A and B are shown apart, each in its own frame.
Chain A
Amino acid sequence: MERDEAELISRCQKGNQEALKQIFDLYNKKVYRIAYGVLRHREEALDIVQEVFIKLFRSIKNFKGESRLSTYLYRMAVNTAIDHMRKIRKPALSSLEGEEGFQPAEGPEKGPDRIFLYKELEEKVNEALGKIPADQRMALVLREVEGLSYQEIADSMKCSIGTVMSRLHYGRKKMQDLLKGYVTQETEE
């Protein structure tokens, strides 16, 4: 696998688009999940996927193989998504304070009311994610959505493992505060 990946990279470095296509097939979903996890917006996440792979094709000549290709791509996805957030993103729409009540649904398949509640909860989560600092949000997405290890997150975010733990800790704490009631009710079920 490692050898195949090295060969793919080498071909891509020579400008072979077919090799880039193979890299795209391997990693597009992961990049999309990170981008969507951070931005919570389908079209914007798709734009990030496009941008990341074009950037990869342009910059792969500088890839020395010091890290894994996946880490290199995650880092590009993280940086591109953060840049995008800084440039384009609007502030969160409303506050969550004082809103409590329903139990999170397992999915939208339990009828129209449940779909509505599910979508509403999703919005609350998105708003809460929008309120925490970008680096904490990124660490949370890489951990909770992609299940990356502390070391992989540290490599992707170019920071120490201690910083990753700190970002995860404070990110979780703030999210739990912002989603008070929703998280608790779910966990009590």
Chain B
Amino acid sequence: MKESCSGELLERFFDGEVTEGERSLVEGHLSYCRTCQHALKSMEGLRHLIKAPVDEVDEKENLYWVWQRIEREIQSREKPPWKEIVWHWLDVTSMLRKRVWVPAAAAIVAILLALAPSLLKKTPSSSDLSVVEYVESQSYNVMVYESEKENVTVIWLLESPEMEGAPQS
């Protein structure tokens, strides 16, 4: 009887990995073979020893707070630190890699050339005015300024320096 014992088949039987035919064969064998009966019980005992502590801990455990930790962790990883954000904005390596800088530089040069005449153009100022006539008299000096471009004439009436200290007559 012992010659027909198969440890491999018994183990598959124990794990529920046998065909119907194999099941019948093992069950028939187990009815009289004490060695295989003992081996089967030994495997059952080991399974209990391994599984029971896990079942016990599992029953008590509530994992909701683990989810809260996971959620926090995911959210914190989704928000990069401000330094990384700044660096990302400053990082032009991807642009250089894509060669967009060639048309970008060309566009900037074109814009500068277009704007150059108006930027370099002289703005009108008081220096455009020129003295046309200056008349001195005892009581007042008269200065006439005339703008060349806008047809503006400015007449300044200045008190004579002699008059300032002279007694009034």
Cβ contacts under 8 Å, B43 to chain A = 172
Residue on B with the closest CB to A129? B50
Beta-carbon contact of A32 and B58 below 8 Å:
yes
* Chain B binding surface SS class: helix
How many residue pairs between the two chains, A and B, have CB atoms under 8 Å in the bound complex? 101
Given contacts A144-B47, A149-B17, is CB(A54)–CB(B63) below 8 Å?
Answer: no
Cβ contacts under 8 Å, A33 to chain B = 54, 58
Beta-carbon contact of A24 and B70 below 8 Å:
yes
Q: How large is the interface on B (under 10, 10 to 19, 20 to 34, 35 or more residues)?
A: 20 to 34
CA distance A165 to B12 in the complex (A): 8
Given contacts A33-B58, A144-B51, A145-B51, is CB(A183)–CB(B73) below 8 Å?
Answer: no
Interface bits B105-120 vs A (CB < 8 Å: 1, else 0): 0000000000000000
Cβ of B109 to closest chain A Cβ, rounded Å: 42
Beta-carbon contact of B73 and A50 below 8 Å:
yes
Q: How large is the interface on A (under 10, 10 to 19, 20 to 34, 35 or more residues)?
A: 35 or more
Of B38, B42, B49, which is within 8 A of A104 by CB?
B49
Query: Which residues of chain B have a CB within 8 Å of any CB of chain A?
Result: 7-8, 11-12, 15-17, 38, 41-54, 56-58, 61, 63, 66-67, 69-71, 73-74
Q: List 19 A-B contacts (CB under 8 A).
A: A21-B71, A29-B58, A53-B67, A54-B74, A57-B74, A104-B48, A104-B49, A140-B50, A145-B50, A145-B51, A149-B16, A168-B15, A169-B7, A169-B11, A172-B46, A182-B45, A182-B49, A186-B48, A187-B41
